[in-house]
Amino acid sequence: MVDHSQQQLTAREMVQAHAYPVLAAISSLSLLSIAILMFPQAVTTHRYNLCIDAQIAMRASINPEGGKDPGKMNYLKAVEHCEGF
């Protein structure tokens, strides 16, 4: 590796020397911001899944013949309840 402390760099050499760290910093910040922006969606989806599980368990204990498979009445009513209709 060449030491450039006493040497004047051309524009091309400056770009080549600094492009990778700049692009790495930009991509790291981009990934961090995407991860932060996904937290609210992850929390909402997690709470929705907990609501569905609780509703299916409650409805299955009340009406065991209703079933737990998707498309069955217990599941459809649980989705209706958790979506707020």
> pTM for this one?
0.63
Phi, psi of 10 (to 5 degrees): -80, 170
- pLDDT above 90 (res 45): yes
State the Cα–Cα distance between residues 41 and 81, nearest whole angstrom.
Answer: 19
Confidence of residue 68 (pLDDT cuts 50, 70, 90): low
